[in-house]
């Protein structure tokens, strides 16, 4: 566990020099600096922004970058196209313009077409620029390069761009597109000059500038519209996340029944909400199970304390009577010792039952033997007859006999895999219940057979039975149908709870139904012995996971 580090250091004394030259006094206050624990998160400004804002910002930035790139590409292509148009006009009309310029003089350029510029550099020296005065005032004069005749021949009338100067010598805003050609003498046809012919790029620059403005304003409008639309779309698409946040807050406040509204499962959010709802249902079920378990534990402890209090109080009371000398005759002492012994036996029975339940709850592996329920049922019939010889107790089969089968030896064997001692305890508890809770001489049957691939054993009595409400609780620990909690019958209220625990430990189930004609039938179902039983090893912890059927 990481804890903040606290460093104590004396503060500078009052009136000490700024440079720290003064010595600290004894009464100087102590400055406590608490260092931040290592590994504590340090959020950047970007991480502090909400997800909605970040998504809109990212989308807007990507949109802006895309529009800027598209605008640059568009203006570049348009500019190249317009320049190519100027170049085509230069190459197409250059000879005609040069011819017209040769017909003009240095003082009269009216023969020169408007916006065209012609400059003749004589090889013998001297330059003759030809340009309309209006063009000069509007676009300036292009600054021609000082090319040699060889360079002109190499260029082969390839257009190039140059800057221009205004009449006053300042830089002009308009560039020119020029081509260079050789000039010949009108008298003998010899090369005597270099001729530069050009057109201004003012229209190209103006068109590109206007296009840039239009594209810029359009891009700005698209970005703003995209940001607004993106904000709305992101807000709508993130609404399920807001629902998750709201649901989580409600659950944190203690309402475990809240669930996230389901979205289409084909979407990521729908898959997430489905998974979260399943998780929330499991969490709620776990909390409910935990609360129920705690309630059962509190009730169990309370009932166990109550059950143990009665025999202990009896033993203590008779002991005090004996110590005080209240027992004067030998018969009184014998009766008191008998009552103390009965209370001790009852307490011992209760402790043994509690110990049996505790061992079952521990989940210890049970023995894996082939056990014939028919044999156990026959032994239980003899036990019940021994307890009450006046009863008519029968061992019957749940399944009709096969044609020609010998039924003189009783029902056919029904073999299960399990712990024979535990299964005998089940039958002992069930038979004991019949003996305690039905009148002497009441008939009973123990039926054995199979049903739907499972072994079935039923203990039927013909007593008064129980109500449907009581049947829902008979397998709970310390539950008695007798609300007065009378102990005269000697029961601890744990017999059927042990039966349910042992049945669950064998991957079986137990329930109660009404006996036809009156009475109660306890029905036990267990897996039959076979190949499936070899891989399905029962353990005592299965008792907590197998509900009792009723």
Which residues have C-beta within 8 Å of that of residue 223, sequence separation ≥ 6?
A: 60, 63, 64, 67
Are 214 and 261 members of one domain? no
Q: Residue 113 has what pLDDT?
A: 63
**Residue 451 domain-assigned (yes or no):** yes
**Residue 17 domain-assigned (yes or no):** no
The pLDDT of residue 171 is above 80: yes
The pLDDT of residue 89 is above 50: yes
Are 379 and 332 members of one domain? no
**Residue 30 domain-assigned (yes or no):** no
User: pLDDT tens-digit profile of 304-325?
Assistant: 787 788 788 888 888 888 888 8
Q: Residue 290 has what pLDDT?
A: 86
The pLDDT of residue 536 is above 50: no
Are 142 and 160 members of one domain? yes
Are 309 and 390 members of one domain? no
Beta bridge partners, 395, equal 446
Domain C-terminal end among 205, 237, 269:
237
Nearest to 506 by CA among 474, 533, 473: 533
Domain C-terminal end among 210, 237, 264:
237
Q: Residue 494 has what pLDDT?
A: 80
* Measured distance CA(154)–CA(90) in Å, rounded: 18
Residue 76 CA to its chain's centroid (Å): 50
Are 424 and 525 members of one domain? yes
Q: Residue 424 has what pLDDT?
A: 92
Nearest to 6 by CA among 43, 36, 38: 36
- Would you state the structure tokens that stand for residue 453, as one six-digit string? 């691939």
CATH number of the domain within which 443 lies: 3.30.565.10
Mean pLDDT computed over every residue of the chain = 79
- Percent of the chain beyond pLDDT 70? 80
Are 358 and 372 members of one domain? no
Q: How many domains does the chain have?
A: 3
Are 312 and 420 members of one domain? no
508 vs 157, 160, 473, CA distance in Å?
104, 99, 18
Query: Contact 82/208 with Cβ under 8 angstroms?
Result: yes
User: pLDDT tens-digit profile of 121-168?
Assistant: 887 777 777 777 677 788 888 988 888 888 888 888 889 999 998 888
* Total residues found in the chain within this entry: 550
The pLDDT of residue 215 is above 90: yes
Residue 546's pLDDT band (cuts 50, 70, 90)? very low
CATH number of the domain within which 299 lies: 1.10.287.130
* Measured distance CA(34)–CA(293) in Å, rounded: 45
Q: Where are the alpha helices (DSSP H) in 238-267?
A: 239-252
**Residue 29 domain-assigned (yes or no):** no
CA atoms in the 13 A half-sphere facing the CB of 154: 5
Are 324 and 392 members of one domain? no
Are 332 and 384 members of one domain? no
The helices-and-strands tally (H runs, E runs) of the chain is 12, 16
Are 138 and 227 members of one domain? yes
Q: Which residue has the higher pLDDT, 357 or 549?
A: 357
Q: Residue 122 has what pLDDT?
A: 83
User: 430 lies in which domain range?
Assistant: 365-400+410-544
Of the candidate ranges 211-225, 388-402, 528-542, the one whose mean pLDDT is the lowest: 528-542
Q: Residue 316 has what pLDDT?
A: 87
* Beta strands in 46-96, from DSSP E residues, in sequence order: none
**Residue 10 domain-assigned (yes or no):** no
Beta bridge partners, 510, equal 524
Q: Among positive and negative, which fits the CA dihedral 294, 300, 301, 306? A: positive
Query: Buried (b) or exposed (e) across 165-179, using 16+ Cβ within 10 A?
Result: ebeeeeebebbbbbb
Are 130 and 213 members of one domain? yes
275 vs 202, 243, 280, CA distance in Å?
66, 15, 9
Cα of first residue to Cα of last residue in the chain, in angstroms, is: 52
> Quick count: other Cβ atoms within 10 Å of Cβ 534?
10
- Would you state the structure tokens that stand for residue 381, as one six-digit string? 């019939």
**Residue 3 domain-assigned (yes or no):** no
Query: Contact 509/547 with Cβ under 8 angstroms?
Result: yes
Are 52 and 193 members of one domain? yes
Domain C-terminal end among 237, 265, 290:
237
**Residue 263 domain-assigned (yes or no):** yes
**Residue 288 domain-assigned (yes or no):** yes
């Amino acid at each position: 566990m990481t804890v903040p580090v606290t460093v104590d250091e004396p503060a500078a004394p009052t009136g000490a020099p700024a440079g720290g030259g003064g010595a600290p006094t004894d009464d100087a206050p102590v400055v406590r600096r608490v260092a931040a624990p290592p590994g504590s998160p340090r959020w950047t400004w970007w991480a502090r922004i909400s997800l909605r804002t970040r998504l809109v910002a990212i989308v807007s930035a990507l949109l802006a970058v895309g529009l800027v790139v598209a605008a640059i590409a568009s203006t570049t292509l348009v500019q190249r196209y317009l320049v190519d148009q100027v170049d085509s006009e230069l190459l197409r009309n250059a000879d005609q313009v040069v011819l017209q310029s040769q017909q003009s003089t240095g003082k009269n350029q009216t023969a020169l077409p408007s916006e065209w510029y012609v400059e003749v550099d004589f090889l013998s020296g001297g330059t003759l620029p030809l340009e309309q005065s209006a063009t000069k005032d509007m676009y300036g004069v292009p600054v021609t390069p000082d090319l040699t005749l060889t360079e002109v021949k190499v260029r082969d009338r390839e257009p190039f761009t140059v800057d221009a100067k205004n009449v006053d010598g300042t830089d002009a805003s308009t560039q020119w597109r020029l081509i260079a050609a050789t000039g010949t003498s009108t008298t003998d046809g010899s090369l005597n000059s270099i001729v530069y012919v050009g057109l201004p790029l003012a229209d190209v620059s103006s068109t590109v500038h206007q296009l840039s403005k239009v594209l810029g304003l359009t891009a700005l409008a698209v970005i703003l519209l995209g940001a607004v639309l993106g904000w709305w779309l992101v807000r709508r698409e993130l609404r399920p996340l807001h629902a998750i946040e709201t649901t989580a807050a409600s659950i944190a406040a203690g309402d475990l029944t809240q669930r996230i509204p389901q979205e289409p499962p084909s979407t990521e959010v729908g898959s997430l909400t489905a998974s979260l709802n399943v998780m929330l249902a499991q969490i709620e079920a776990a909390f409910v199970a935990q609360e129920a378990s705690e309630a059962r534990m509190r009730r169990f402890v309370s009932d166990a304390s109550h059950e143990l209090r009665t025999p202990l109080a009896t033993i203590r009371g008779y002991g005090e009577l004996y110590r005080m000398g209240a027992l004067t005759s030998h018969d009184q002492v014998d009766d008191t010792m008998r009552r103390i012994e009965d209370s001790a036996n009852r307490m011992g029975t209760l402790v043994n039952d509690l110990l049996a339940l505790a061992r079952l709850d521990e989940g210890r592996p049970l023995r894996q033997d082939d056990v014939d329920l028919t044999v156990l049922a026959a032994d239980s019939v003899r036990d019940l007859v021994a307890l009450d010889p006046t009863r008519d107790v029968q061992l019957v089969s749940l399944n009709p006999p096969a044609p020609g089968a010998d039924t003189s030896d009783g029902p056919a064997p029904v073999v299960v895999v399990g712990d024979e001692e535990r299964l005998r305890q089940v039958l002992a508890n069930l038979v004991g219940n019949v003996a305690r809770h039905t009148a002497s001489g009441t008939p009973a049957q123990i039926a054995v057979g199979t049903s739907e691939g499972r072994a079935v054993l039923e203990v039927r009595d013909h007593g008064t039975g129980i109500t449907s409400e009581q049947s829902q609780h008979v397998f709970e620990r310390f539950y008695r149908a007798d609300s007065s909690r009378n102990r005269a019958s000697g029961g601890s209220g744990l017999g059927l709870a042990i039966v349910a625990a042992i049945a669950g430990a064998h991957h079986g189930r137990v329930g109660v139904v009404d006996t036809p004609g009156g009475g109660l039938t306890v029905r036990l179902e267990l897996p039959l012995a076979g190949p499936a039983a070899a891989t399905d090893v029962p353990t005592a912890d299965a008792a907590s996971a197998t509900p009792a059927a009723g």
